[in-house]
C-alpha cells in the first residue's frame, strides 16, 4: 500500500461524510476503511478513520446535548407561560365579585268590577357581594408548574449527608466479617443468659469506638 499523504480540507470533509454514513449503517471501522479507499483511490490508514469516527461521534453527542438543551428551554418557556396564566387566574379569584339573583314572585292586582282579584307575577332582582378568598385549584396548577420546572433542571436530587469530624476527618464504616458477627452473637447470648461474656480480643465488641479516631471510652 502506498504511503498515506496529508489530506486537503476538502478531502477531510469528504472522508468524514463517507465515514458518518458508514457509522449510521452500522459498519465497522475496517469495512469503512476498505470502502473509502476503494471509493477515493487514496491510501488511508485505519487509525485515520478511527480518529475521524471519534470526532464524528463527539460532534453527534454535542449536537444531541444542544438539542436536549433546546427542548428544555422550550419546555421551560411553556411552563412559565402556563404558570403566569395560573397566577392571573388565582389573582382574579381573590377579587370580590357581585352575584345577581333573579326571581319571579306572585302578586295580586286590585279587584275588578265583580270583586275578582286577578293574579299576576313580577320579576325581582337582588344583588349580593361575594368575598374573593382565592381558588385553591389555581394554586395547585402553580405548584405543578414549579415541580415540573424543578425536575427539568435536576434540582430535586437527594442531598448527600455524611458524618464528618473536624478533628479526625470523615467517618468510615468499619469492615465487619462473618466471624465478627458470630462473635457478637455469642456475646449477646451469654449476656442474656446472665453469664459472663468472654469477648474475643480484636472483635468489634472489644473495640466499639475503634472506628472513631481520637475517641476513647
Q: What phi and psi, each to the nearest 5 degrees, are found at residue 90?
A: -65, -40
pLDDT over threshold 80, residue 45? yes
Can you tell me which residue has the cell 472483635? 203
Residue 193 lies in a domain: yes
DSSP 116: -
Range of the structural domain that residue 185 is part of: 174-205
Axis crossing angle, helix 9-24 with helix 29-40, rounded to the nearest 10? 130
User: Binning pLDDT at 50, 70 and 90, where does residue 69 land?
Assistant: confident
- Predicted pLDDT of residue 143: 92
Number of domains the chain is built from: 1
Query: Average per-residue pLDDT in the chain?
Result: 77
Residue 24 lies in a domain: no
- Predicted pLDDT of residue 14: 93
Residue 181 lies in a domain: yes
> Rounded distance, CA 41 to CA 18, Å?
14
Residue 134 lies in a domain: no
User: Binning pLDDT at 50, 70 and 90, where does residue 47 land?
Assistant: very high
Q: What angle do CA 43, 47, 48 make, to 5 degrees?
A: 60
Burial 131-149 (b: 16+ CB within 10 A, else e): eeeeeeebeebbeebeebb
Residues 6+ apart with CB under 8 A from 95: 132
Can you tell me which residue has the cell 420546572? 149
| Residue whose C-alpha is closest to residue 19's, from 50, 62, 63 | 50
Which of 101-105, 114-118, 135-139 reaches the highest mean pLDDT? Answer: 135-139
- The number of angstroms, rounded, from the C-alpha of 156 to the middle of its chain's C-alpha atoms is 6
- Percent of the chain with pLDDT strictly greater than 90: 31
Residue 198 lies in a domain: yes
Amino acid at each position: 500500500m502506498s504511503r498515506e499523504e496529508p489530506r486537503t480540507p476538502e478531502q477531510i470533509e469528504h472522508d468524514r461524510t463517507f465515514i458518518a454514513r458508514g457509522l449510521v449503517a452500522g459498519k465497522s471501522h475496517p469495512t469503512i476503511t476498505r470502502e473509502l479507499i476503494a471509493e477515493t483511490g487514496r491510501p488511508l490508514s485505519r487509525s485515520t478513520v478511527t480518529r475521524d469516527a471519534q470526532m464524528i461521534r463527539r460532534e453527534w453527542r454535542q449536537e444531541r446535548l444542544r438539542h436536549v438543551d433546546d427542548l428544555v428551554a422550550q419546555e421551560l418557556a411553556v411552563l412559565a407561560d402556563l404558570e403566569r396564566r395560573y397566577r392571573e387566574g388565582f389573582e382574579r379569584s381573590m377579587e370580590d365579585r357581585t352575584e345577581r339573583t333573579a326571581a319571579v314572585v306572585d302578586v295580586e292586582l286590585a279587584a275588578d268590577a265583580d270583586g275578582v282579584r286577578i293574579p299576576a307575577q313580577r320579576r325581582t332582582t337582588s344583588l349580593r357581594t361575594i368575598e374573593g378568598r382565592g381558588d385553591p385549584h389555581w394554586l395547585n396548577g402553580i405548584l405543578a408548574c414549579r415541580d415540573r420546572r424543578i425536575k427539568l433542571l435536576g434540582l430535586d436530587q437527594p442531598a448527600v449527608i455524611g458524618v464528618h469530624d473536624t478533628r479526625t476527618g470523615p467517618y468510615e464504616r468499619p469492615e465487619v466479617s462473618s466471624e465478627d458477627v458470630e462473635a457478637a452473637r455469642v456475646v449477646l447470648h451469654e449476656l442474656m443468659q446472665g453469664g459472663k461474656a468472654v469477648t474475643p480480643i480484636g472483635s468489634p465488641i472489644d473495640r466499639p469506638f475503634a472506628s472513631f479516631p481520637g475517641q476513647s471510652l
